[in-house]
Amino acid sequence: MVYFILKRMFQSVFVMLAVAFLAFSLFRFVGDPITQMTGVETSVADQERLREELGLNDPFVYQFARFTGDMLKGDFGFSYRTRQPVADMISSRIPATLELGVVALIISLLVGVPAGVYTALKPRGVLTQAILMTTLVGVSIPTFVIGIMLIFIFGVQLGWLPTFGRGGTVQIGGWESSLFMIDGWRALLLPAITLGVYQLTLTMRLVRAEMMEVMRTDYIRFAMARGVPMRRLHYKHALANTMVPVITIIGLQFGGVIAFSIVTESVFQWPGMGLLFLESIRFVDIPVMGVYLVVIAFFFVLVNLIVDLLYVAIDPRLRIKDVS
């Protein structure tokens, strides 16, 4: 088991390095940061001097080595645009994105899992068909349209919820959280729903498919034949076994949720990493873009490591050696 975890960590490091390389090398081509950093009237000679100062004229490999080396030292460089340390910029935005992503994930689980269970247990019900159809339409509308619609319905027309930003936040040891104020929750609701819709459908369909699969297994039929109470059978037996594969897929998807929050953040002016990333693209702020990619990849491998550990926790077959 220790070996298993070590192996996954080794693979994670490989993924991180590859992403760092990609991030750096690809963004090296995005455009000329100099024209963005300087004003309308800056002379060509001044631009060239700045280029030299920033090391943009050095050979490519040299620049990458510097990039990775600095990163390992915890030095993520400075933004071309704001001249702030990238580490500060990104880390100050991480709470917003993570809270959005996690709440979206929780919403999608809170709704998706029961809906999946219901539709799996009553595959022919009218409500099942309605749920399936609604969610299908839900995932077929582009996220940004859903977001804007929600804003106009609940923000502008009904005036129930704020239309942008994080609302009230509380600083807890450097972590700026929306979760401790009513205002924060109100602001979080619409973006989280927008971000969660796609995930919700995915979760529901996955749970439904796995659950139907599990309900046909011998151990469920045997539990039926022993007269195990239905509620216990559905939740303790079937759902637990359903969640084993579902957790992996959700883990794989979480990185996508974080990345897809780019769209949601841009619609709701949610001050997270995604918004920062979009601004950085606009200004060709290469250090910020590069670090963002690396951070996203880091979340991805981290979540998957957690999923692996969860697996071990849930599934005794991985935890306890076979004695036979």
Rounded to the nearest 10°, the torsion over CA 287, 292, 297, 303 is: 150
Which residue stretch of 64-72, 101-109, 111-119, 162-170 sits at the interface with other proteins (rule: CB under 8 A)?
Answer: 162-170
Cα–Cα dist 65/59, whole Å: 10
Which residue stretch of 64-72, 97-105, 106-114, 130-138 sits at the interface with other proteins (rule: CB under 8 A)?
Answer: 130-138
Cα–Cα dist 253/202, whole Å: 9
Tell me, what amino acid is at 11?
Q
DSSP string, 153-175: IIIIIS--S-SSS--S-EEETTE
DSSP string, 100-135: HHHHHHHHHHHHHHHHHHHHHHSTT-HHHHHHHHHH
Least CB distance to other proteins at residue 3 (A): 5
In the set 24, 76, 283, 311, which binds other proteins (CB under 8 A)?
A: 283
Buried b (16+ CB within 10 A) or exposed e, 135-161: beeebeeebeebbbebbeebbeeeeeb
Report the site for other proteins in 177-196 (rule: CB under 8 A).
none
In the set 73, 137, 182, 231, which binds other proteins (CB under 8 A)?
A: 137
In the set 94, 181, 309, 315, which binds other proteins (CB under 8 A)?
A: 315
Least CB distance to other proteins at residue 138 (A): 10
Q: DSSP 3-state helix, strand, coil percentages of the chain (rounded to 5)? A: 75, 0, 20
Q: What is the total count of residues that contact other proteins (CB under 8 A)?
A: 122
In the set 179, 212, 310, 312, which binds other proteins (CB under 8 A)?
A: 212
In the set 106, 145, 172, 306, which binds other proteins (CB under 8 A)?
A: 145
2 binding other proteins? (CB under 8 A): yes
282 binding other proteins? (CB under 8 A): yes
44 binding other proteins? (CB under 8 A): yes
Cα–Cα separations (whole angstroms), residue 43 to 21, 32, 34, 59: 33, 15, 11, 24
Contacting residues for 154 by C-beta, under 8 A, at least 6 apart: 160, 161, 190
Write the binding mask 65 to 84 for other proteins: x where contact by CB under 8 A, - elsewhere: -------------x--xxxx
Cα–Cα separations (whole angstroms), residue 226 to 219, 220, 231, 244: 10, 10, 14, 24
In the set 68, 91, 128, 163, which binds other proteins (CB under 8 A)?
A: 163
Report the site for other proteins in 222-281 (rule: CB under 8 A).
222-230, 232, 236-237, 240-241, 244, 252, 255-256, 258-260, 262-263, 266-269, 271, 275-276, 278-279, 281
311 binding other proteins? (CB under 8 A): no
Our CB check for other proteins shows the closer of 49 and 114 to be: 49
